[in-house]
Amino acid sequence: MVREAIRRRLALGAAVLAVSGVFALGTAGVAQAATSESCTGRQVRTLAFRTGVTHVYKRDGYVCAVTVPRRPGAAQTMAVSVQARGNRPVVDKGRYKHQAGPVTVHAGHRCVWIKGTVGRYSVSTGWVLC
């Protein structure tokens, strides 16, 4: 009788812990997506252009980029693209209010090509971070 009560309490405690972990991960992702600092790592480039800014981060061989408009709020066409040399580009394109991305690729020690677009203006790096 006592052993079953202990098992039930342990099972309940494990379930509560698992559910709280899921909620913690879910809310962290939502909060992170609302900021322009969605990428982890060290910021290595800031690519400013007329209608926006593309932020580029690097960490452990991964390159991440986010494009943010200069005037957020109204939905507008935005895009961000990161391409490691020898691979196809990874692109996030659509109508957004706050940012396009983050887009992350594993570059290792290869060069990457980064593009950012807000409206009809854009920026393109050529091969960088070699």
| DSSP state string for 10-65 | HHHHHHHHHHHHHHHHHHHHHHHHTSS--S-SEEEEEEEETTEEEEEEEETTEEEE
Q: How far lies 8's CA from each of 18, 22, 48, 100, in Å?
A: 15, 21, 58, 47
pLDDT of residue 38: 87
Are 4 and 55 found together in one domain? no
User: Above 70 in pLDDT, residue 19?
Assistant: no
Distances from the Cα of 23 to the Cαs of 70, 105, 108, in angstroms? Answer: 32, 27, 33
Per-residue pLDDT tens digits for 30-53: 333 334 458 999 999 999 999 999
Q: What is the pTM of this model?
A: 0.71
CA 87 – CA 63 distance, rounded (Å): 13
Whether residue 43 sits in one domain with residue 5: no
Residues 73-79, mean pLDDT to the nearest whole number:
96
Q: Are residues 3 and 46 in the same domain?
A: no
Q: How many domains does the chain have?
A: 2
Kindly report the average pLDDT of the chain as a whole number. 82
Residues 28 and 48 in one domain: no
Residue type, 32: Q
Structural domain for 29, as ranges: 1-34
**pLDDT-derived band at 78, boundaries 50, 70, 90:** very high
The verdict on 16 and 79 lying in the same domain is no
Which two structure tokens, joined as six digits, stand for 56? 């580029």
52 contact partners, CB below 8 Å, separation of at least 6: 67, 68, 69, 70, 78, 116, 117, 118, 121
